[in-house]
Amino acid sequence: MAVQALDAERLPIDWQKLALPAVLIAVAYGLIPTYASSYLVEAILLPFLALSLAAVGLNLLTGYCGQLSLGSSAFMAVGAFAAYNFNLRVEALPLVATMILAGISAAGIGILFGLPSLRLRGFYLAVSTLAAQFFVQWALTKFGWFSNDNPSGVISAPHLTVAGFSLDGPTGRYLLSVTMVIVLTGLVWRLVNSAIGRNFIAVRDNETAARVIGVPVLRTKLLAFAISSFIIGVAGVLWAFTYLRTVEPAGFNLDRSFQILFIIIIGGLASIRGAFLGAAFIVVFPLVLSRLGAFAFGGLFDSGVLDMSQRIVLGALIIIFLIAEPNGLSALFDRLKRRIGSRSS
């Protein structure tokens, strides 16, 4: 009976909740392409979008399904190198198809490295996903074929065209990026509000109970790995093709995996909004702080001292945020909204 109920009924859509995303999408398409400087697009929005999407992907796996992973940046690398090779070796493959194929490649690798999750949990699983991290980087370095035998082992983004339009300029790359992020985030949003999404949560909250009520635990876990890796793979393509344009395997190292994990922890687990807030905090905030610091004290200290103190400020802020709200920026945001709401009513 419980199973039927889970399958049959979708959670009601809260239309009020859609107001903010709608405004953001309007800004993303209406204002930013016209008014944003190339600095804002190239240095802030492009890395922000790619990492947000990666964080959305990881949040699906870790936040919703409860499977801790330290392999995110490996899946990004698979996406990036797969896209490069599909584009290089398949004539006239449309860009969107390239991205989807890259995502599927990452999903394949994700399922492979998700297999230990059938036996392992928590930190043990995290350690086994580390294997993905090291294996992928090793394989990309070891076999020159992946980088078309480039002696320096790097790959470069091809010309980006969609339906005959060149997207090589900053605005074009931004539009491509933002569209992919919105579409995939929308799909994830639908997914977490569906029966599958509730299966994810059931597995996370209590695996045994989930099994008892008839959730196919193994399939659910592998599905979570597959979908999450797909999204992270596409994020990797965005990172390589729209943001950096030339990447080396070393750019997808363990640090990046940790960065994405911290994004979802600080932003809020099991929250799509949290992925974006966390990415903003980790990617954009240090830059803002650095600009502010340079502006206020630029002449007084050398750039090293300034940067060191920013690290201290950032670290302190993370601690304060997490003490104030262990559920992340997303929960903090909700609390703020409630407080404003209660005051105005």
Partner 1 sequence: MTFFSHLRKAAIATAFVLGATAVHADEQYFPLQSYRVGPYAAGGTGFFGGFIDYLNLINIRDGGVNGVKLTWSEGETQYEVEKGVEVYERLKSTPGIAAWNPLSVGIAYAMIDRITDDKVPLITINHGRTDTTDGRVFPYVFPLLLNPYSETSGIVNYIASKEGGLEKLKGKKIVVLYHGSPYGKETIPIYELLSQKYGFELSQIEVPHPGNEQQAQWLTIRREHPDYVVLRGWGVMNPVALKTAQKTGFPADHIVGNVWSNSEEDVIPAGDAAKGYTAITTQASGEQYPVVQEIVKTVYGAGKGNLEDKSRIGSVYHNLGIVNGILNVEAVRIAQAKFGNRTLTGDEVRWGFEHLKLDPARVEALGAKDLFHSINVSWDNHEGDGYVTFQQWDGKKWNVVSDWIAPDWKLLRPIIEKSSEAYAKEKGIKIRTAEDADAVVSN
- 41 vs 68, beta carbon nearer partner 1: 41
Nearest alpha carbon to residue 176 among 232, 242, 231: 242
- 96 vs 306, beta carbon nearer partner 1: 306
Amino acid at site 280: A
The nearest distance, CB 64 to partner 1, in angstroms, is 27
Q: Where on the phi/psi map is residue 270: left (φ > 0), alpha (ψ -120 to 50), or beta? A: left
- 90 vs 308, beta carbon nearer partner 1: 308
Which segments within 71-195 are labelled E, that is strand? 155-156, 161-162, 165-166
- 57 vs 293, beta carbon nearer partner 1: 293
The nearest distance, CB 76 to partner 1, in angstroms, is 13
Nearest alpha carbon to residue 241 among 172, 183, 188: 172
Binding site for partner 1 (CB under 8 A): 38-39, 42-44, 47, 88, 138, 141, 147-154, 156-159, 243-251, 283, 287, 290-291, 298-300, 302-304, 306-308, 311
- 207 vs 307, beta carbon nearer partner 1: 307
**Cβ distance 238 to 160 under 8 Å?**
no
The nearest distance, CB 48 to partner 1, in angstroms, is 10
Kindly state the DSSP code that residue 345 receives in the 8-state scheme. -
- 201 vs 244, beta carbon nearer partner 1: 244
The nearest distance, CB 159 to partner 1, in angstroms, is 7
The nearest distance, CB 307 to partner 1, in angstroms, is 4
Q: DSSP for 240-303? A: IIIIISEE-GGGSSHHHHHHHHHHHHHH-TT-HHHHHHHHIIIIIHHHHHHHHHHHHHTTTS-H
Tokens of 57: 């992907």
The nearest distance, CB 117 to partner 1, in angstroms, is 26
